[in-house]
């Protein structure tokens, strides 16, 4: 199964929420545990205090009795004048007294607490009490949902001789503590709910603030291209690590632009060198036989030769043949440079412009015309070439624009036809405006820089003109005018 990749912003947001939730749950858990521990300690200490008070009371009863203080007289001693009931009422505790073997001797009235004891203690309890160093043990039990902390201890005479076993069943009434705990948890829940909502808001804005710089850097890196001018990153109030990353990126952009310029210049120079070498080589080929023909004609020329006319005709034919070869080379170079021979045709300009735009798939190119038919003398192929070159430049200028728009408009201006190509692209800088129509000049990392120079040459051949207006990051408008 494919794992879901979370963005850094989402991870920070979730981590902060989990941190708050985890801390809240931990605090609630510790609080509940602490409450329970305090409740246990409270009941344990309360039982010890009551046991101590009852023991003091028992000692007083034993000291004031007229009976002989032995195990067999325990029942009579504590039933005399209902002493055991009085003690139970005063201390609000049920009191059970067993002999040393665990047989019940006497117990208090059951009006205060439910009697959960048997008439015989378990032998294990008797043995455990006897083995206990302090001659006292405490047991926790639960009967019918009621929790008991029961204590077992020896009743001794004045010489600390064990007489009987005192059993005190203490019911843990946690209702008050539970109510306090519930109220505390409700209040804490309200506070934590508010803290959670506050944490959500803070986590959202904090994660957005932390990742804002990284998002800008990521977008810039994704937009970085070798064949276009890349913008540097400018970030304020960022961390030292982000500044280091931005600085490294900006340095890379400078190096990339230098490399792109050098590469583009090298490519263009190499292309022109190769073109020049090829043209020179092709021209040299017919020049050699032409030179030999001239030298041979010069050596063998005799005006009195009866066949002089035939020789001159043969010599002329050879030269004309080589000249035709050179002419074909020039024509081939012209075709290579996209400058074919011009032909005058009567064209419907809106129709031809629309035809030129049909090769483009960009849906943001809009074509409008003042009239459906505007006639002019122009070469069909070269008019298409002019339009396609200008539109291609407009498309390339709009590559970095979020909402690109290109408008091609054909209209009449008195005796001229005007074709306007406007875009909302990056525009042309002031320093490059004077170089736009120069051969071999280009701001792109590819191409030979002949496009606009060729367009200007074609338009001026037909006694037309081309000009433009441009603002950086606003757009450019090229207008081509030629006679109707």
Tokens of 36: 């329970």
**pLDDT 10s digits, 221-260:** 777 766 666 677 776 666 666 777 777 777 877 777 777 7
Q: 359 and 311 in one domain?
A: no
Q: Which of 9-13, 250-254, 454-458, 461-465 has the largest mean confidence?
A: 461-465
Choose the final residue of a domain: 144, 163, 178: 178
Tokens of 151: 């204590």
Q: 167 and 22 in one domain?
A: yes
Q: Is residue 211 part of a domain?
A: no
| Domain harbouring 67, CATH code | 3.30.450.20
Q: What is the full DSSP assignment across 332-393?
A: HHHHHTT-PPP--EEEEHHHHHHHHHTT---TTEEEEES-S--EEEE-HHHHHHHHHHHHHH
Q: 171 and 79 in one domain?
A: yes
Measured CA to CA in angstroms, residue 206 lies from 16, 20, 197, 201, 473 at distances of 10, 14, 14, 8, 33
Q: 132 and 18 in one domain?
A: yes
Q: Is residue 196 part of a domain?
A: no
In 154-230, alpha helices (H) = 175-223
Q: 388 and 299 in one domain?
A: no
Q: How many domains does the chain have?
A: 3
Q: 262 and 128 in one domain?
A: no
| Domain harbouring 365, CATH code | 3.30.565.10
Residue 340 has pLDDT above 60, yes or no: no
Mean local confidence (pLDDT), 374-402: 89
Q: Is residue 471 part of a domain?
A: yes
Contacts of 440 by beta carbon, 8 Å cutoff, 6+ apart: 268, 272, 448, 449, 450, 453
Look at residue 407 in the predicted model and tell me its pLDDT: 94
Range of the structural domain that residue 29 is part of = 8-178
Q: 154 and 18 in one domain?
A: yes
Look at residue 279 in the predicted model and tell me its pLDDT: 66
pTM value is 0.38
Q: 18 and 155 in one domain?
A: yes
Annotate 184-222 with b (16+ C-beta within 10 A) or e (fewer): eeeeeeeebeeeeeebeeebeeebeebbebbebbeebee
Residue 114 has pLDDT above 70, yes or no: no
**Measured between alpha carbons, how far is 443 from 457 in angstroms, rounded to an integer?**
20
Q: 463 and 331 in one domain?
A: no
Q: Is residue 200 part of a domain?
A: no
Q: Which of 105-114, 136-145, 264-273 has the largest mean confidence?
A: 136-145
**Measured between alpha carbons, how far is 307 from 179 in angstroms, rounded to an integer?**
139
Question: Are 173 and 113 spatial neighbours (Cβ–Cβ below 8 Å)?
Answer: no
Q: 376 and 311 in one domain?
A: no
Between helix 83-91 and helix 8-64 the angle, nearest 10°, is: 150
Q: Is residue 188 part of a domain?
A: no
**Measured between alpha carbons, how far is 476 from 37 in angstroms, rounded to an integer?**
80
Q: 457 and 351 in one domain?
A: yes
Residue 288 has pLDDT above 80, yes or no: no
Choose the final residue of a domain: 277, 310, 336: 336
Question: Are 132 and 139 spatial neighbours (Cβ–Cβ below 8 Å)?
Answer: no
Q: 319 and 247 in one domain?
A: yes
Choose the final residue of a domain: 313, 336, 359: 336
Coil, helix or strand at residue 97: strand
């Amino acid at each position: 199964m494919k794992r879901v990749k979370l963005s850094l912003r989402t991870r920070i947001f979730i981590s902060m929420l989990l941190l708050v939730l985890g801390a809240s749950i931990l605090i609630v858990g510790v609080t509940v545990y602490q409450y329970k521990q305090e409740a246990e300690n409270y009941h344990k200490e309360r039982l010890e205090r009551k046991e101590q008070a009852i023991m003091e009371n028992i000692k007083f009863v034993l000291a004031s009795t007229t009976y002989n203080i032995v195990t067999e007289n325990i029942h009579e001693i504590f039933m005399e004048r209902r002493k055991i009931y009085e003690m139970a009422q005063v201390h609000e505790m049920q009191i059970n007294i067993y002999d040393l073997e665990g047989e019940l001797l006497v117990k208090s009235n059951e009006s205060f607490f439910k009697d959960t004891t048997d008439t015989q203690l378990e032998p294990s309890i008797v043995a455990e009490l006897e083995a206990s160093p302090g001659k006292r043990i405490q047991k926790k039990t639960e009967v019918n949902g009621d929790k008991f902390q029961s204590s077992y201890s020896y009743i001794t005479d004045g010489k600390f001789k064990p007489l009987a076993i005192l059993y005190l069943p203490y019911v843990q009434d946690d209702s008050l503590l539970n109510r306090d705990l519930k109220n505390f948890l409700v209040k804490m829940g309200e506070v934590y709910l508010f803290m959670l909502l506050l944490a959500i808001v803070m986590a959202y804005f904090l994660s957005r603030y932390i990742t804002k710089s990284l998002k800008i850097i990521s977008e810039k890196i994704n937009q970085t291209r070798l064949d276009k001018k890349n913008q540097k990153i400018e970030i304020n109030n960022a961390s030292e690590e982000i500044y280091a990353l931005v600085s490294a990126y900006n340095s890379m952009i400078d190096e990339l632009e230098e490399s792109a310029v050098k590469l583009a210049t090298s490519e263009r120079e190499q292309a022109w060198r190769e073109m020049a070498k090829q043209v020179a080589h092709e021209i040299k080929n017919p020049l050699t036989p032409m030179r030999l023909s001239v030298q041979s004609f010069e050596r063998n020329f005799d005006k009195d030769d009866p066949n002089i006319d035939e020789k001159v005709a043969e010599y002329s034919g050879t030269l004309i043949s080589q000249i035709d070869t050179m002419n074909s080379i020039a024509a081939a170079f012209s075709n290579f440079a996209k400058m074919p021979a011009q032909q005058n045709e009567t064209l419907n300009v809106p129709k031809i412009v629309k035809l030129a735009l049909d090769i483009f798939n960009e849906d943001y190119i809009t074509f409008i015309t003042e009239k459906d038919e505007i006639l002019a003398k122009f070469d069909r192929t070269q008019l298409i070439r002019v339009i396609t070159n200008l539109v291609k430049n407009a498309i390339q200028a709009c590559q970095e624009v979020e909402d690109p728009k290109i408008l091609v408009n054909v209209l009449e201006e008195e005796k001229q036809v005007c074709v306007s190509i406007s875009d909302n692209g990056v525009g042309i800088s002031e320093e490059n405006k004077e170089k736009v129509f120069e051969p071999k000049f280009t701001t792109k990392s590819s191409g030979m820089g002949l496009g606009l120079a060729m367009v200007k040459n074609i338009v001026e051949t037909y006694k037309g003109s081309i000009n433009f207006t441009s603002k950086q990051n606003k757009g450019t408008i090229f207008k081509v005018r030629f006679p109707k």
